[in-house]
Structure 1
């Protein structure tokens, strides 16, 4: 949340080690979303209603009261989940270091009849309707259906469940729901309480079964307490995702200081628990992203917050570089293990695009079978990140274009299969399709490379993929960056800019 000049990031944290367990709400503050200082933990198990853990939730800034944290407490060994609240001990403290959990009205929600009390968690940021009534969603599950239960309150103290969920779908448990409006036109963010014909609403859920997230765009009928998804994307496992890689349990907030909505996502490790213990830490936050509605109104677009550009150091560029089939050209002169790269590729023709098989509905499977080493027509072309000198290790981020009967299909891959000589790692071929008009015969890519992270944004943030990789050779000053083409169509690097990135200040 943003409050009185500071950004506050609360996150699930184990103060006793780099493995799961002993979870508290850690708390860090920042002036710019990039450089952070940790303060004392905001919440830790201390009451009967959160004896077995203080789990995910949200913060709402209530007019006249200030920030209120809503979170899930577990009260017993049967994982019975209840919704609790906490407030700052001293609102005059700019860092809001101490939080208290009042005994009165805590917990403020328990699962009533018909609600699965062991699958009942992660309250959203609240919004205030035109009728002056506050509302929140809580994620749940009924048999195989994910549920977003809606609760109402006149005073932000006593809450009542609406008879029917605001929405549900057959996807398994819905964790970390998020619900917010986006403007039909423009990139400005909105407070969660905005509604009307000039907005669409986003319902995002984290799917416990797949460990992926999906979102739907639709219309919120506040008078009927219903959200109806539009039919422009699937309402389920195959639906739209913020990110097609290692990105989960995300949370958005409205930043009034810059009129934007910002998404934070969490990226887990892909190595072993033993590796995490050796490192002494596990799990990272992705770079915060601004989110808005694409001009087609069919999907969201995301882009790293502009404050990240303040870490850019030495800049190198490449212009009008031709790439024949099999060409690899190094982007030298920067710290390739810690870099920001923006590039536009062009091609003169799509005639050589491979035929698209309609059975290829799963982008990740397609990337696995059509990797960066598999020759194509238009593509694969893109970046080889975190590459060792002899290409024994590399993480390619690339496009590949296919020809379907009535359109072209664009695939974006971030393939970790060759990322490390360590054989036991999880090295997936993450991928997503890109909804783009190819009339310009151009595609753009931005990749943020940070030692064990390659976070990529395709075509201005339409399709995004975060990969965790653990090279053995391509580390620090032994890492290299290349542009490449393994397709028969000539590819031109129209313009590329890459920056060595400085380290952030933490504590």
Structure 2
């Protein structure tokens, strides 16, 4: 009865304490109440897109991990489903950590990392639950124990299964750590994954960290897009590198290369950060029925987890983003479904920006989609302030002579001396024209730079709801075209 009671308790609590819609973002996924972090099980099942997530319903801070659950058909409107998993079995009593989901023989398989105590430490093992899109039954024991790794592997860093099918097999890609402390990606397969007794076969170490990109690699992902293979990893304990593309601590990376399938080596050709902003981690991707590769991430940073006092929920997901190539560059753009709900509010052409911050008629708001095209050939600096009001604002700034992007929310109402400012290299050539798309949704801002060649995200939990001013500034003289859209949601 422990499993039913623990899960039913979580479900009853979230139903009784559900946050009203006016206190949530309009089109980003958040928990009904409590805390959330990494997206889990981002997948298609039963004609809907399912998003699970790391979840602690009973407070707005991290706690024993459950799996929350929400669904969507358009990536913009989210419907809460009951809590899917609770840490109520001996093998996951310390938490149901991240994992994946897939449709298999008409059922939805969840494969997740169960955390259990071992002496004074913890171990991590891979666990199975099978369900119908609402209710899930756990297998009686882990399906891959921490002992089923290559020799010298960590027992406490063995987690976050990602799932894909190929040649009638289900494959599982896991993050692990070798004897040298460096992260590595482990590939397993099983022709009968729905059967808890069917053994998972170890295939290979698909990729290994040489120590230049953090230590442990969490939350792996794998996909092929137009003939090129991409491995997604979320490195921990990244040290600052000479080129400053990756920031210290936890970050995300796309490893781009060649792979001819299971049993063959992954040959890494390039890598790039997936988000250059203040808040982004642990992304997952899915392929839509019409062939788009769509990414979603946790729009938060572990070094900035300070919920506002009395907040009923904390932690939100990014806007789902379509991945595509522009030459050799892996780019991102908002899902096409967002374009379909845009309604032009106002448009300005050939606006000259110089000197003092400039306000424009009709340009304000905290829920909007705005596109800028800026002639910067006489402006070594250009920027936008948003969420402005009562001496508060956040800003994005381009220092073009130095090739730097700067994100700053120090003046947006925060109450701790925490991560509020980031300066990072621009990953694209600007030339004379800068293109910027800005998407705001009450508690967040996401920026798509130069047609998605670089993306930057930040949360705005402490900015007052009425702080909706937008200002433009430059050093030198910039000339700007602007289209601002309301969203018919």
Q: Common fold, TM-score beyond 0.5?
A: yes
> 1:294-305 to 2 correspondence within 5 Å?
294-295=326-327, 297=328, 299-305=329-335
**Cα offset for 1:34?**
1.0
User: Please, which of 55, 58, 63 is the counterpart of residue 16 of structure 1?
Assistant: 58
SS at match of 2:209: strand
Give unpaired runs (5+ residues) of structure 2: 1-42, 238-248
User: Relative to structure 1, is the Cα distance of residues 154 and 109 closer, same or farther in structure 2, using a 3 angstrom cutoff?
Assistant: farther
The answer to whether structure 1 residue 81 and structure 2 residue 124 are counterparts is yes
Is the aligned partner of 1:180 residue 2:223?
A: yes
Q: CA deviation at 1:314?
A: 6.0
User: Are 2:139 and 1:140 aligned?
Assistant: no
Candidates 90, 94, 111, aligned match of 1:70: 111
2:223 alignment partner, SS class = strand
- Look up the match of 2:474: 485
Are residues 244 and 272 of structure 1, via their aligned partners in 2, closer, same or farther at CA, if it must alter by over 3 Å? closer
Q: Give, in whole Å, the separation in 1 of the partners of 2:97 and 2:258.
A: 30
Deviations 1:214-265 (A, max 9, x none): 12100013264321111x44xxxxx433444310011111111x32111111
CA 272–202 in structure 1, closer or farther in 2 if over 3 Å, else same: closer
Q: Structure 1 residues 480, 249: CA separation in 2 closer, same or farther (over 3 Å shift)?
A: same
In terms of mean alpha carbon deviation, does 213-222 or 463-472 score higher?
463-472
Distance in 2 of aligned mates of 1:8 and 1:421: 33
Q: CA deviation at 1:56?
A: 0.1
The alignment of Structure 1 onto Structure 2 pairs a total of residues equal to: 425
1:270-299: CA deviations, max 9, x gaps?
Answer: 89877445112111111111112222x2x3
**Contact kept? 1:269, 1:283, Cα under 8 Å:** no
Where structure 1 has 5 or more consecutive residues not aligned to the other structure, the ranges are: 91-95, 184-198, 234-238, 350-377, 403-408
Deviation at 1:169, TM superposition (A): 2.9
User: What are the superposed Cα offsets for residues 342-386 of structure 1, whole Å, 9 maximum, x if unpaired?
Assistant: 11001346xxxxxxxxxxxxxxxxxxxxxxxxxxxx332031111
Which residues of 2 match residues 397-436 of structure 1 at below 5 A? 397-402=396-401, 410-420=403-413, 422=415, 424-436=417-429
1:128 pairs with 166, 179, 182, which one? 166
Among residues 247, 257, 271, which one is paired with 1:218 in the alignment? 257
Q: Per the alignment, do residues 471 and 41 of structure 1 end up closer, same or farther by CA in structure 2, a change over 3 Å counting?
A: closer
Alignment of 1:91-110 (within 5 A): 96-103=133-140, 106-110=142-146
Q: Which deviations, in whole Å up to 9, do the C-alpha atoms of 1:397-444 show, x marking residues without a partner?
A: 122223xxxxxx743322223333746453122534232362xx2110
2:482 is matched with 496
SS of 2:91's partner is helix
Partner of 1:61: 103
Pairing 1:6-45 to 2, within 5 Å after superposition: 6-45=48-87
Alignment of 1:87-486 (within 5 A): 87-88=130-131, 90=132, 96-103=133-140, 106-112=142-148, 113-129=151-167, 132-142=168-178, 143-156=180-193, 157-170=198-211, 171-183=214-226, 199-209=227-237, 210-222=249-261, 224-230=263-269, 232-233=270-271, 239-256=272-289, 258-268=290-300, 275-295=307-327, 297=328, 299-312=329-342, 315-324=345-354, 326-348=355-377, 378-388=379-389, 392-402=391-401, 410-420=403-413, 422=415, 424-436=417-429, 438=431, 441-471=432-462, 475-486=464-475
Match of 2:11 in 1: none
- Structure 1 residue 23: deviation in Å? 1.5
Offset of residue 67 of structure 1: 2.6
Residues 50 and 71, structure 2, Cα contact 8 Å, conserved in 1:
yes
Label 1:271 to 1:281 Cα distance change in 2 as closer, same or farther (>3 A): farther
C-alpha distance after superposition, 1:102-137 (max 9, x if no partner): 33x7433433342211000001122315xx443221
SS at match of 1:28: strand
Point out the structure with the larger strand share. Answer: 2
Q: Residues 179 and 204 of structure 1 are in contact (CA less than 8 Å); yes or no, is this contact kept in structure 2?
A: yes
TM-score by length of 2: 0.80
1:167–1:228 contact (8 Å) kept in structure 2: no
CA separation in 1, counterparts of 2:44 and 2:385?
Answer: 37
TM-score (norm 1): 0.78
**Alpha carbons 2:229, 2:259 under 8 Å: kept:** yes
Deviations 1:37-79 (A, max 9, x none): 11111111232222221110011223x3443111100122522
Task: Call closer, same or farther: CA 1:177–1:43 in 2, change over 3 Å.
Answer: same
Aligned to 2:241: none
Counterpart CA distance in 1 for 2:50 and 2:280 is 20
8 Å Cα contact 2:90/2:116 also seen in 1: yes
Instruction: State whether residues 270 and 468 of structure 1, in contact with CA within 8 Å, keep that contact through their aligned partners in structure 2.
Output: no
Alignment RMSD (CA, Å): 2.5
Q: Find the aligned partners of 1:421 and 1:126 in 2 and give their Cα distance.
A: 41
What CA deviation, in whole Å up to 9, does each residue of 1:148-181 have, x standing for no partner? 0111223334212235444333120111011111
Contact 2:258 2:267 in 1 (8 A): yes
Q: CA deviation at 1:316?
A: 1.3
**Pair 450,431 (structure 1): closer, same or farther in 2 beyond 3 Å:** farther
